[in-house]
Amino acid sequence: MIIRRGAWLCVFLMVTALPAVGRAADSTDARFARARYFNARSELNRIHIQLERGFVQSPQWTAARTDLIAATTKLQSLRRPLIEDLRASPAYQRLWQRKYTLEKQLETAHTLPSTAARDAEIYALANRLLDLRQSLTQLEADALAAEPAVDQARQELVAANDQLQSLWDQHLRSIPADPSWQRAHQRMETARAQWIDAAGRFQEINDRDWDSNRQRLVSLGNLDGGR
């Protein structure tokens, strides 16, 4: 089928001009609805941040955070001299020197050409190095466990952290009950529904226009008679 040049111009005008009014109106509705939704969502986020800021400035949160910092400082002050004394001991120094030697051997082995024997050597060195590191860690853990004050300070730190986390969880659960948050959330949900509705109507008009223009094109081609 051959359609004359004048017929193509007629088809083009029908596709672009005839549904323009309906399409433009619904496209504008969809854009406005989308803008209202994002504005409402921004307002909800602003209220959320405002509530969070007010909470972290509350006396209860400030006191709990101060307790956590104090417990952390106390534990560190107890651990530091014990670990320093341990690391200065001959037994610890011997293990540390063996660890250092193995690290250098392993570093050198990685620079040599790879062979089956070389890979086996690297594997063995890595396992020995892992064992030494675990031994050093165990020495430090034993030194700290021998001091009751350290264990007490650790328990105080855990309790302070749990208290802070509990307060934060309570704050998060309280947000949906805040009247300002509820109103902003409702506005956002309403705007979301309006946006979905407007976008759906816009798509429906586009689909209807496309079907109508396709039918006009087919009809014009048939009237042309194949010329």
Q: pLDDT digit string (tens) for 78-130?
A: 999 999 999 999 999 999 999 999 999 999 998 988 888 889 999 999 999 99
Per the rule left: phi > 0, alpha: psi between -120 and 50, beta: everything else, 226 is left
The pLDDT, as a whole number, for residue 93 is 95
pLDDT band at 53 (very low <50, low <70, confident <90, very high): very high
Q: Is pLDDT above 80 for 19?
A: no
Into how many domains does the chain fold? 1
pTM: 0.67
Q: How many helices (H) and strands (E) does the chain have?
A: 7, 0
Half-sphere exposure of 54 (CA within 13 A, CB side): 11
What does the alpha-carbon distance between residue 38 and residue 67 come to, in Å, rounded to a whole number?
40
The pLDDT, as a whole number, for residue 153 is 97
Those residues whose C-beta lies under 8 Å from the C-beta of residue 211, and which sit 6 or more positions away, are none
Can you read off the two tokens belonging to residue 159? 């309790």
The domain of 25 spans 5-224
The single-letter DSSP state of residue 113 is P
What does the alpha-carbon distance between residue 197 and residue 171 come to, in Å, rounded to a whole number?
35
What does the alpha-carbon distance between residue 174 and residue 170 come to, in Å, rounded to a whole number?
6
Q: Quote the mean pLDDT of the chain.
A: 83
What does the alpha-carbon distance between residue 162 and residue 83 come to, in Å, rounded to a whole number?
27
The pLDDT, as a whole number, for residue 79 is 96
Among 160, 204, 193, smallest CA distance to 33 is for 193
Tokens 């409702």 belong to residue: 186
The pLDDT, as a whole number, for residue 223 is 45
